[in-house]
């Protein structure tokens, strides 16, 4: 089986995520069911939300802020395994992040680190 990294992108606010706590609480049930479906198939490896604050480190620079592209940012991740990327795409099409008008999932295959 291959491993896949799903990055959850959504709208950013000024120093916080762009969602109020009450809406976040309501959405937790949908997230738990969605993640639970993957876990019950034995294909969940790891998943967590990501804190808003971040540090960007470059060769000559360091900035204390997360990467925000066109007012959206990564808000969480999930690592899963599957024999078929189409299965992962199918899961992504039902992901609760899509309930947000700007939300989407980026899927990246995790490659083995061979020297």
User: Domain range holding 70?
Assistant: 2-110
Judge whether 12 lies within some domain.
yes
Judge whether 22 lies within some domain.
yes
Quickly state the pLDDT bin for 112 (edges 50, 70, 90).
confident
Tell me, what's the pLDDT at 45? 97
- Mean per-residue pLDDT over the chain, rounded: 88
The CATH number of residue 7's host domain is 3.30.70.1060
Average confidence (pLDDT) over 71-78: 89
Average confidence (pLDDT) over 25-49: 92
Judge whether 115 lies within some domain.
no
Counting the structural domains of the chain, the total is 1
Write the CA distances from 39 to 15, 33, 47, 80, integer angstroms: 32, 10, 10, 9
Query: Is residue 73 over pLDDT 80?
Result: yes
Judge whether 20 lies within some domain.
yes
Q: At what angle do helices 21-40 and 85-92 cross, to 10 degrees?
A: 150
Query: Is residue 23 over pLDDT 80?
Result: no
The 10 Å CB-count burial string (b at 16+, else e) for 5-41 is bbbbbbbbeeeebeeeeeeeeeeeeebeebbeebeee
Average confidence (pLDDT) over 8-22: 70
| Residue 32 tokens, joined | 């738990």
Judge whether 91 lies within some domain.
yes
Neighbours of 43 (CB within 10 A): 19
């Amino acid at each position: 089986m291959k491993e896949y990294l799903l990055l959850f992108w959504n709208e950013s606010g000024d120093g916080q995520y762009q969602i109020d706590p009450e809406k976040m609480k309501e959405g937790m049930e949908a997230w738990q069911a969605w993640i639970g479906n993957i876990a019950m198939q034995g294909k969940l490896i790891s998943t967590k939300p990501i804190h808003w604050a971040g540090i960007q480190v470059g060769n000559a620079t360091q900035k204390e802020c997360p990467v925000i592209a066109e007012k959206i940012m990564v808000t969480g991740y999930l690592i899963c395994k599957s024999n078929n990327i189409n299965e992962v795409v199918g899961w992504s099409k039902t992901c609760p992040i899509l309930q947000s008008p700007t939300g989407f999932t980026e899927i990246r295959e995790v490659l083995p680190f061979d020297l």
